[in-house]
């Protein structure tokens, strides 16, 4: 196991941020009237993401450390 110390704020080093960017780019910008609808819309979009797409978040130049 290797430890990597990251700067306090470095979204480009975090694969989760890539997923967040994907969701924010593709889920409609209007605010759903209820939290339930927001959750349903987000889960519905994430269900369309394939394993290949999700794994590609870890192939970026800055997140390659996660594969070591």
Q: Is the pLDDT of residue 60 over 80?
A: no
- pLDDT of res. 56: 81
Note the pLDDT tens digit of each residue in 6-43. Answer: 788 877 778 888 888 888 888 877 778 899 998 998 89
The tokens for 40 are 């349903």
In the chain, DSSP finds a helix count (H) and a strand count (E) of 3, 0
Residues 40-59 have pLDDT tens digits of 988 998 899 888 888 888 77
Dihedral sign, Cα of residue 67, residue 56, residue 44, residue 33: positive
Domain ranges of the chain: 12-67
pLDDT value of position 34: 92
Helix axes 35-46, 15-26, angle to 10 degrees: 110
pLDDT of amino acid 68? 58
- DSSP 8-state code for residue 61: S
């Amino acid at each position: 196991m290797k430890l990597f110390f990251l700067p306090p704020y470095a979204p480009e080093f975090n694969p989760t941020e890539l997923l967040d960017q994907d969701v924010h780019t593709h889920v409609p910008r209007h605010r759903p009237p209820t939290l339930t609808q927001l959750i349903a819309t987000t889960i519905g979009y994430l269900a369309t993401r394939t394993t290949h797409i999700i794994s590609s978040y870890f192939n970026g130049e800055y997140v390659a450390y996660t594969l070591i």
